[in-house]
């Protein structure tokens, strides 16, 4: 903990975040978290599947415990996630036999979820919640024609039940709830992965642009963008070309909304963290990324790592983070704090 604090190195540029579970909020893990970060995302606790009791009624007991700890530490919180095809109860949009609910039933469930989650966390942590991933990973096409984002929509339960405007409806409703809570400033993100691939970036860009135009047409008095943040999950590997990341950032800047790097990790190419050359390559990519993030820091509001150390990562077999099993800084850490 006598190492340079990442959050201090980038304090004039963007927030530094990490993904947390309860176990990160005590002991040496908490010390490391506080030393380098000023923002957190719940790695799992705030996902829809954790918001309901067995009888299907809302139950935020577990997640609130985590958010209360985060609040005690004074860390800012990015809400993750409201509408997603994973880690969400199927009954929100589908019947037991797998067929979709009617549009109205599914819309009611989606709106009830958005309202209850946003109100709950607002009651627990108020302004400490600075933003939400409203819709996550809605795009997953064959990319043959990425400008046609409708053709690239993921075949999810939400899409089948509500139709392709479920994304617009989710953001519109989240905006309404945020405004009712007096949170006109709350940033509403569309979040997705493979953000370095240009066809995906084009689809994300086209979707956000069109949805924001539709909202502007329907709400001429509201000068805000409906989707006010684009989340680049940034689940990369040591072979990712940083120049593609730059191209995506430049494209997203045209949307004139906040850019967030929301789930950054860089896997090694083989599942063996002892190969020195791989760790070097990983560190090199981290350095290139932070040089680019720094260059565009006027547009990037936060860079969030997806986990504190390799052992606890969702991709632990490829050692993707800055600290190793014993919480010791890897080359990747030194690359991040001194990327030149």
| Contacting residues toward ligand XIL, per CB under 6 A | 43-44, 136, 233, 263, 314
- From the CB of 191, what's the least distance to ligand XIL, in Å? 6
And the tokens for 134?
């409203």
Omega before 73 cis (within 30°)? no
Annotated active-site residue 222? The verdict is no
Annotated active-site residue 192? The verdict is yes
- From the CB of 74, what's the least distance to ligand XIL, in Å? 24
Which residue in the shown chain puts its C-beta closest to ligand XIL?
A: 314
- From the CB of 210, what's the least distance to ligand XIL, in Å? 23
Strands 300-305 and 15-20: parallel
SS3 content of the chain, % helix, strand, coil (to 5): 45, 20, 35
Residue 242 or residue 307: which is nearer to ligand XIL going by CB? 307
What burial class does residue 340 get, using C-beta atoms within 10 Å of its C-beta: 0-12 exposed, 13-18 middle, 19+ buried?
exposed
Give the active site residue among 13, 133, 137, 310: 137
Asked if 129 contacts 122 with a C-beta cutoff of 8 angstroms, the reply is yes
Residue 152 or residue 313: which is nearer to ligand XIL going by CB? 313
Residue 50 or residue 296: which is nearer to ligand XIL going by CB? 50
CA distance 201 to 251: 8
Reported residue count of the chain is 340
And the tokens for 53?
């009791």
Residue 46 or residue 76: which is nearer to ligand XIL going by CB? 46
CA distance 282 to 273: 10
Asked if 103 contacts 157 with a C-beta cutoff of 8 angstroms, the reply is no
- From the CB of 330, what's the least distance to ligand XIL, in Å? 19
Give the active site residue among 133, 263, 278, 310: 263
Backbone dihedral angles phi then psi of residue 320, each to the nearest 5 degrees: -90, 0
Residue 13 or residue 265: which is nearer to ligand XIL going by CB? 265
Give the active site residue among 43, 133, 192, 258: 192
- From the CB of 190, what's the least distance to ligand XIL, in Å? 12
Residue 32 or residue 337: which is nearer to ligand XIL going by CB? 32
CA distance 68 to 62: 10
- From the CB of 328, what's the least distance to ligand XIL, in Å? 22
Annotated active-site residue 147? The verdict is no
* Helices within the chain (DSSP H only): 6-9, 27-36, 61-73, 103-125, 157-162, 166-180, 198-218, 242-253, 276-295, 331-337
Mind telling me the catalytic residues? 137, 192, 263
């Amino acid at each position: 903990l006598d190492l340079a604090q990442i959050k201090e190195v980038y304090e004039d540029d963007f927030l530094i975040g990490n993904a947390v579970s309860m176990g990160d909020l005590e002991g040496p893990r908490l010390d490391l978290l506080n030393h380098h970060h000023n923002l957190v995302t719940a790695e799992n606790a705030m996902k829809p599947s954790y918001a309901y009791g067995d009888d299907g009624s809302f139950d935020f007991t577990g997640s609130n415990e985590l958010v209360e700890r985060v609040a005690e530490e004074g860390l800012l919180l990015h809400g993750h996630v409201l509408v997603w095809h994973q880690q969400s109860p199927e009954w929100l949009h589908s019947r037991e036999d797998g067929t979709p609910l009617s549009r109205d039933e599914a819309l009611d469930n989606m709106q009830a979820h958005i309202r209850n989650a946003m109100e709950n966390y607002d009651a627990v942590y108020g302004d400490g919640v600075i933003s939400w991933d409203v819709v996550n990973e809605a795009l997953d096409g064959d990319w043959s024609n990425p400008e046609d984002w409708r053709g690239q929509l993921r075949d999810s339960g939400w899409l089948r039940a509500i139709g392709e405007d479920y994304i617009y409806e989710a953001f519109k409703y989240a905006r309404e709830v945020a405004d009712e809570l007096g949170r006109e400033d709350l940033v509403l993100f569309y979040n997705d992965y493979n953000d370095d691939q240009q066809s995906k970036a084009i689809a994300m860009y086209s979707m956000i642009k069109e949805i924001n135009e539709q909202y502007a047409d329907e709400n001429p008095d509201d000068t805000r963008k409906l989707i006010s943040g684009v989340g680049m999950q940034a689940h990369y590997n040591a072979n990712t070309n940083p120049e593609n990341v730059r191209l995506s950032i430049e494209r997203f800047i045209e949307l004139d909304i906040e850019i967030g790097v929301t789930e950054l990790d860089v896997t090694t190419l083989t599942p063996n963290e002892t190969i020195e050359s791989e760790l070097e390559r990983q560190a090199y990519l981290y350095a290139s990324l932070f040089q680019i993030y720094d260059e565009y820091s006027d547009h990037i509001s936060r860079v969030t790592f997806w986990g504190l150390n390799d052992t606890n990562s969702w991709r632990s077999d490829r050692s993707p983070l800055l600290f190793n099993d014993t919480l010791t800084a890897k080359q990747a850490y030194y690359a991040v704090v001194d990327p030149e």
